Amino acid sequence: MEKKNAWLSYTAAELKKLEKLNSEYIDFISTAKTERLAVAESIRLAEAAGYRNLEDIVKNNETVKPGDKIYAAHMKKTLALFQIGTEPMENGMNILGAHIDSPRIDVKQVPFYEDTEFAYLDTHYYGGIKKYQWVALPLAVYGVIVKKDGTVVNVALGDKPGDPALGITDLLPHLAQDQMKKGAANVIEGEDLNLLIGSKPLKGEEKDGVKAAMLKFFKEEYGVEEEDFISAELEIVPAGAAREYGLDRSMVMGYGQDDRVCGFTSLKAVLDVKKVARTAVCLLTDKEEIGSVGATGAHSYFFENAVAEIMNAMGVNDNLKVRRALQHSRMLSSDVSAAYDPIYPGVMERKNSAYFGHGVCFNKFTGARGKSGSNDANAEYIADLRRIMDDNKVAYQTAELGRVDQGGGGTIAYISAQYGMEVIDSGVPVLSMHAPWEICSKSDIYEAKKAYEVFLKFA
Ligand code: MN
Ligand code: MN
């Protein structure tokens, strides 16, 4: 079962393609730091590749035919792209799924306060973070503030060249005797993740002059009042761009690679693939990190509805055929795998771990405590995937999420599997998962994109 490192297999021409893809990827994750930004950037790339908005097609009563390229977005936070195949939709689609939300710190609805002549934004973290990793580093704020008249104001603070830094302070070690005795979960308390944004009081303000100065800043910069933050979605993420990592530049360090690394490679695959038999789909979902809930999470009927709309535009107004299209589909539910980290060997089992440079990773199951909560992919389906990967010289590996009973986690795989379609977890191995800066191997990113394109052509 020894598998060779994929780096050893590349020709000069392949290495050039690998570097080009990774440089585009670095740009993508540096720009798309939130689910909204990821959807906007994906739509920009899709429109440049000839994709059209499903809303316009429905509004104009247009007919959809094989070869058409269509995208459907919902609430600007989830996106599905369809390249219509020559086979009837009811024969099933080939679906690439990934999530584009990432762990972060969200700004509360009533966030402003002043304490001891410092102004802060109060927050509530999103997803599974080690809170102690998010202090004493530069952070940026992205998102929207929506005014009562419906105006959407885009906010971007702390990331542009020349922008000031923002952040959350930590306690000096000299006075941390008590703090250092706490368990790591409580070294930094969730309620203490408060973003320090200012310290200069506004002249003429008797009370809370620093907060008043900050509100004046938002009024002048964005035309918003304190009350407008009630209808805002502001996300605090690490400031700075993704970069190559390692002296050999073999890796990428960046924020939000869980799971925009699979989002980007899936998107690229569907944009690059040509003349498909089965309809090729890329589904980018939101809210995976908090259970795939809500109107933009994988549990939402958004995707099913989009499929029904497209089939209707193809002259198939038949609920049974929509159900068949979903049940006969195949999916690669792509999410990052925990890469084997030799510094922490105790949590892994070597034979069933994901390794950097060994290609795209397939997980038959995820879950915790006896596979609980897992989609357990069908053996027959895995055999098909082994064949098409080998036939197309894609480097792949298989893994579990750590040792038995060490912990666990879930993905969106089991949700699509409810339709009865074939689904397997797959994706790119990552080091320092859920940390502000995560690390992936360039070669795994390249192999994942190859795997996704091969899968979309799978007849
Ligand atoms: Mn994930
Ligand atoms: Mn995650």
Given a cut of 80, is residue 2 above it in pLDDT? Answer: no
Query: What is the distance in A from the centroid of ligand 1 to the CA of 409?
Result: 9
Run of H or E including 215: helix 209-222
Q: Are 347 and 279 contained in the same domain?
A: yes
Query: What is the distance in A from the centroid of ligand 2 to the CA of 290?
Result: 9
Q: Which ligand is nearest to the CA of 99?
A: 1
Q: Please state the rounded mean pLDDT for residues 48-56.
A: 98
Return the DSSP state at 160: S
Q: Are 88 and 124 contained in the same domain?
A: no
Q: Are 303 and 431 contained in the same domain?
A: yes
In 3-state terms, what secondary structure has residue 280? strand
Q: Please state the rounded mean pLDDT for residues 341-363.
A: 97
Task: Please list, residue by residue across 118-133, b when 16 or more beta carbons sit within 10 angstroms of its beta carbon and e when fewer do.
Answer: ebbbebeebbebebeb
Whether the ω angle into residue 259 lies within 30 degrees of 0, i.e. cis, is: yes
Q: Is residue 283 part of a domain?
A: yes
What separation, in Å, do the N-terminal and C-terminal C-alpha atoms of the chain show? 28
**Residue 332 Cα to chain centre, angstroms:** 15
Q: Are 302 and 446 contained in the same domain?
A: yes
Task: Indicate the pLDDT class of residue 1, thresholds 50, 70 and 90.
Answer: low
Maximum Cα–Cα distance across the chain: 74
Q: Is residue 395 part of a domain?
A: yes
Q: Is residue 199 part of a domain?
A: yes
Q: Are 213 and 128 contained in the same domain?
A: yes
Query: What is the distance in A from the centroid of ligand 2 to the CA of 256?
Result: 9
Q: Please state the rounded mean pLDDT for residues 297-325.
A: 97
Query: What is the distance in A from the centroid of ligand 2 to the CA of 259?
Result: 7
Query: What is the distance in A from the centroid of ligand 2 to the CA of 103?
Result: 7
Q: Which ligand is nearest to the CA of 432?
A: 2
Q: Which ligand is nearest to the CA of 261?
A: 1
Q: Is residue 303 part of a domain?
A: yes
Q: Please state the rounded mean pLDDT for residues 45-54.
A: 98
Q: Is residue 1 part of a domain?
A: no
Q: Is residue 289 part of a domain?
A: yes
Query: What is the distance in A from the centroid of ligand 2 to the CA of 434?
Result: 6
* Contact between 399 and 354 (Cβ < 8 Å): yes
Around ion ligand 1, residues with a beta carbon closer than 5 Å are 258-259, 335
Pair of tokens at residue 213 = 């100065």
Amino acid letter, residue 182: K
Q: Are 98 and 114 contained in the same domain?
A: no
**Cα distance between residue 114 and residue 150, in whole Å:** 29
Q: Are 50 and 159 contained in the same domain?
A: no
Question: What number of residues does the chain have?
Answer: 459
Q: Which ligand is nearest to the CA of 127?
A: 2
pLDDT at 139: 98
Q: Which ligand is nearest to the CA of 425?
A: 1
Q: Are 169 and 84 contained in the same domain?
A: no
Query: What is the distance in A from the centroid of ligand 1 to the CA of 259?
Result: 5
What CATH number does the domain containing 263 carry? Answer: 3.40.630.10
Q: Are 204 and 97 contained in the same domain?
A: no
Query: What is the distance in A from the centroid of ligand 2 to the CA of 130?
Result: 12
Q: Are 94 and 110 contained in the same domain?
A: no
**Of 96, 39, 85, which Cα lies nearest the Cα of 450?**
96
Given a cut of 80, is residue 3 above it in pLDDT? Answer: no
Query: What is the distance in A from the centroid of ligand 2 to the CA of 127?
Result: 7
Task: Indicate the pLDDT class of residue 407, thresholds 50, 70 and 90.
Answer: confident
Q: Which ligand is nearest to the CA of 100?
A: 1
- Tens-place pLDDT, residues 6-22: 999 999 999 999 999 99
Query: What is the distance in A from the centroid of ligand 1 to the CA of 120?
Result: 30
Q: Are 132 and 148 contained in the same domain?
A: yes
Query: What is the distance in A from the centroid of ligand 2 to the CA of 58?
Result: 35
Query: What is the distance in A from the centroid of ligand 1 to the CA of 411?
Result: 6
Q: Are 268 and 223 contained in the same domain?
A: no
- The pTM (predicted TM-score) of the whole model is 0.97
Domain that holds residue 439: 6-102+255-458
Pair of tokens at residue 96 = 């690439």
pLDDT at 409: 84
- Tens-place pLDDT, residues 102-125: 999 999 999 999 999 999 999 999
**Average pLDDT value over all residues in the chain:** 97
- Total domains, the chain: 2
- Tens-place pLDDT, residues 344-354: 999 999 999 99
